[in-house]
Amino acid sequence: MYYVYIIKNEKGGIYTGYSENIKKRLEAHNKGLNKYTKGHKWELIYYEAYKAKEDAQKREKQLKKSHNARRWLKERIAKSINS
């Protein structure tokens, strides 16, 4: 399985990515191994599962590029973002 995920840091910053192993990926974010998420404590707040890697990559790109897709998802998970 491949996962598109959203993580939130202690300051309320949000990052979207995809991975085959969410647990390992979250650990990498928290260890500072990603230059975009380095220096923060991250928690998983949302994910979607896909059987095909290409589907997960397409969805990640959609969420990163499309304002409407990102806005709709933020509305859908507003309580998770704000808690």
* pLDDT range class, residue 83, cuts 50, 70, 90: confident
Mean pLDDT, residues 66-80: 89
What pLDDT sits at residue 36? 86
Domain annotation for the chain: domains and CATH numbers = 2-82 (3.40.1440)
pLDDT digits (tens, 9 = 90+) for 9-66: 999 999 999 999 999 999 999 999 988 899 999 999 999 999 999 999 999 999 999 9
How many degrees, rounded to 5, is the angle at CA 38 between CA 65 and CA 29? 75
